[in-house]
Amino acid sequence: MKQYFINTWEGLWTVLVGMKITFKHLFDPAVTIQYPDVKPTMPERARNRLFVNMDDCIGCDQCARACPVNCISIETLKSTPDDTPGETSQGKKKALWVTKFDIDIAKCCFCSLCVYPCPTECIEMTKVYEFSEFERNDLIYKFAVLTPEEITDKTQKYDEFQAAKEAEKLAAAKAKAEKAKQDAAKKADDNPDKKAE
């Protein structure tokens, strides 16, 4: 019987205690971040969307090889001496035209493994985290700055250069051969002189 009244009292009292707690929380400031209006601050080394600074990229393909999910694909083209891609910001000479630098961010696992091998520190993880798209193809980011015309132009140039080089080489080889012949001929010519002396 005594337990009965204790139960009653405890039932009511604990409800009141609970109500007091919720009442206090009614006036506590909310912890909600109003997301689209207020952006959450990212931690220092947050890994989100990849960004490639093409000015610095030398097309070394190391990031593509480091990627565990093969989301980076790079194609390069050798440059000609008269039309070089210039230098990186750290003064390193670029030897390759980067014709294709695609990152399929949908595949990316945000491991940051591509960032470490980069010799010019041109690929990096940014703090941008809002990049949803309606089309899956839109998630393939194309970083290459060259237009298709430029690429064909460069290819042509390289081919011409290559051809020229070939021709030069051929010419050189021919010249060499001719020179050797000449030398031989000269030698042959010289000898009789010596003999004549």
**Which residues sit at the interface with other proteins, rule CB under 8 A?**
7-8, 11-12, 15, 18-19, 21-23, 25-32, 34
The residues that bridge with 101 in the sheet, in sequence order, are 74
The residues that bridge with 52 in the sheet, in sequence order, are 123
* Residue spans of beta strands (DSSP E) within 59-185: 72-78, 96-104, 123-125, 140-142
Write down the least CB distance from residue 91 to other proteins, Å. Answer: 52
- Go through the chain and tell me how many residues it has: 197
Choice between 4 and 134, CB closer to other proteins: 4
d(CA 134, CA 144): 23
Write down the least CB distance from residue 22 to other proteins, Å. Answer: 4
d(CA 157, CA 146): 14
d(CA 58, CA 119): 9
d(CA 39, CA 49): 16
Choice between 7 and 155, CB closer to other proteins: 7
Write down the least CB distance from residue 114 to other proteins, Å. Answer: 38
Choice between 8 and 162, CB closer to other proteins: 8
Write down the least CB distance from residue 4 to other proteins, Å. Answer: 8
Choice between 32 and 90, CB closer to other proteins: 32
Choice between 10 and 153, CB closer to other proteins: 10
Write down the least CB distance from residue 133 to other proteins, Å. Answer: 23
Three-class DSSP category at 76: strand
